[in-house]
Amino acid sequence: MTPEGLDIDDIYFKWGMTLNEVKNAFKVNHSSIIKKSSSDVFKIKCNKIVGLPALTCLFTEASFNKPVIHTCFDLTPIKTKLFEKSYDPFVEHLTKLLGPPFEIINKLKNGIQYNKHNPNHIITYSCKWLLAENIVVSLLVNGKPTVTKAGKCAAVLHFEWINEKKSASPYYNDFVKTENDLSASVSGLKKMKLGYKQSPYYKPLLYHQKDIQLALHDKTVKAAQLILYTNSLYRTPIDISEELNEYEIAIFKSEKLKVWCLCNTWDFTVLHKKSIMNYIEVKPAKGAGGVDMIVNSLKIQDINDNILKELSKKLEELSGLQFEKITTYDV
């Protein structure tokens, strides 16, 4: 185990690999594939990880054809010594490798034993380590072992790659080039004012970050998050952004690439042949209801459909696509 990768049953997994690269690496050497599901999940059998006995390993990528940023391993029970708690062997082993954890949550209070009064799937003990400011290692111990198809699972060990700039770096130049091409010359700008404030896309940075909203004012972090987690979402050109307030959205045409775009003051997306477009009517229930329009990864919200209904027709006309109509309730 290093900040660059993990040895998994004598096969080296390197952070930065895509899911397809992981599949190719492990299919060559293993006939023990348990499940291949969606484009962002891949699960294999695994006997050992960082010296701990394991059952399975699950790989999760940031988004389609982007790097794997998370792996987790189901761990089998380890026999305890006299007076040891069930989690002690796991914690002792990992502490030797990583040093003391920076966070510990222990729900085993008042003498409650590991294997009594604690249902399966209830996490009773957890702790976290930070590896070289890049990887968060998390141990989650179950209330009692869970029986799975692969065997008994006593705990789950997670590795999460949190260096977004580094994980997005192979894609950064292409992203900026596309963004610049889309915004090089625009025409047909049409602004619309909505009843709700719109919101920028960002993911809060949770681990050892002084500013969890760093992506809102660091352009490189913002770009990294758009690269890793979104579908065709870019930073709105400054000249258009300055014309829009938090309540306004707009459409414009990229003359260089001959495509239409939808934006708020922070982010914009492109209408293309594979765009995903959802029109969601949110009926009143506990809340007041409203309308959500989602185009690729850009979400537009309003208090009613007075403007968005007409906009949806215009976007269908410009794209040649149809919105999927969805009805839900504001609960």
State the pLDDT at residue 209.
65
Please report the pLDDT score of residue 38 as a whole number: 45
> How far is 71 from 47, CA to CA, in rounded Å?
15
For residue 108, name the pLDDT band (cuts at 50, 70, 90): low
The b-or-e profile of 70-88 (16+ CB within 10 A means b, else e) is bbbbbbbbbeeeeeebbbb
Q: Which structure tokens are listed for 36?
A: 């291949």
At 113, is the pLDDT very low, low, confident or very high (cuts 50, 70, 90)? low
pLDDT in tens, 295-320: 999 999 999 888 999 999 999 999 99
The contacts of residue 328 (CB under 8 Å, 6+ apart) are 280, 281, 282, 283
Residue 304 DSSP SS3: coil
Of 227 and 19, the one with more pLDDT: 227
For the cut 50, the answer to whether the pLDDT of residue 257 exceeds it is: yes
Measured torsion, CA atoms of residues 245, 250, 252, 257, in degrees rounded to the nearest 10: 90
- The DSSP line for 249-276 is EEEEEETTTTEEEEE-SSEEEE--TT--
